[in-house]
């Protein structure tokens, strides 16, 4: 059976991002209830050389957006990365979900062997579509989402595995 690039990407991206919205909402509510300055959480890191919470959320949305767009041959959306509150980050995630919902199966299915090229800070990278999705996009989306979850959890926000996985 052939893998559907659309089914492997878009629904997964949307589910992960919806779960991230729920995590942010829980974090914001607990911060308010416990009188924790939200900027402490938004700027928190797991380790000094890692990005802070806000950047982890931004990278999760960028990963989903750019992954889908590159596979579909569409323009990669660019955000300003100026979010400074849980509400603004939630808006960014919802905007990303809305963008992802515009993709159709015919835009992604059949891109398994398509060469995907992108620029990093230091070089140009290329991969075929299926390895790009499976070995680059999905692991990066999960990494940044998990790291955002872990930052909040490490800072005392009551989250559990089902917050990360979501309810089916």
Question: Both tokens of residue 107?
Answer: 């835009």
CB-CB contact of 166 with 26 (8 Å): no
* Domains identified in the chain, total number: 1
Q: How far is it, in rounded angstroms, from Cα 79 to Cα 27?
A: 23
Residue 165 pLDDT exceeds 80? yes
Which pLDDT value is given to residue 18? Answer: 98
Give every CB contact of residue 33 below 8 A, 6+ residues apart in sequence.
none
Structural domain of residue 10, as residue ranges?
Answer: 5-165
Residue 152 pLDDT exceeds 80? yes
Helix (H, G, I), strand (E, B) or coil at 67: helix
Give the containing element (helix H, strand E) for 26.
helix 5-33
What is the average pLDDT across 34-61? 97
Helix (H, G, I), strand (E, B) or coil at 2: coil
Residue 72 pLDDT exceeds 60? yes
CATH number of domain containing 153: 1.20.120.450
Mean of per-residue pLDDT scores for the chain: 96
Helix (H, G, I), strand (E, B) or coil at 45: coil
What is the average pLDDT across 118-128? 93
pTM (2 decimals)? 0.96
Residue with tokens 């990365």: 81
Residue 37 pLDDT exceeds 80? yes
Q: How far is it, in rounded angstroms, from Cα 146 to Cα 134?
A: 17
């Amino acid at each position: 059976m052939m893998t559907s690039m659309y089914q492997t990407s878009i629904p997964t991206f949307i589910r992960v991002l919806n779960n991230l919205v729920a995590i942010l909402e829980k974090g914001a509510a607990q911060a308010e209830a416990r009188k924790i300055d939200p900027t402490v959480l938004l700027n928190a890191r797991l380790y000094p050389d890692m990005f802070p919470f806000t950047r982890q959320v931004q990278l999760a949305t960028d990963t989903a957006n750019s992954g889908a767009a590159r596979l579909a041959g569409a323009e990669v959306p660019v955000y300003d990365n100026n979010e400074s509150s849980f509400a603004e980050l939630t808006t960014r995630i919802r905007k990303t979900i809305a963008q992802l919902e515009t993709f159709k199966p015919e835009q992604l299915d059949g891109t398994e062997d398509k060469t995907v090229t992108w620029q990093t800070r230091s070089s140009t990278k290329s991969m075929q579509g299926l390895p790009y999705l499976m070995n680059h996009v999905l692991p990066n989306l999960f990494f940044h989402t998990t790291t955002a979850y872990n930052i909040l959890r490490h800072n005392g926000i009551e989250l559990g595995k089902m917050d990360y996985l979501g309810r089916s």
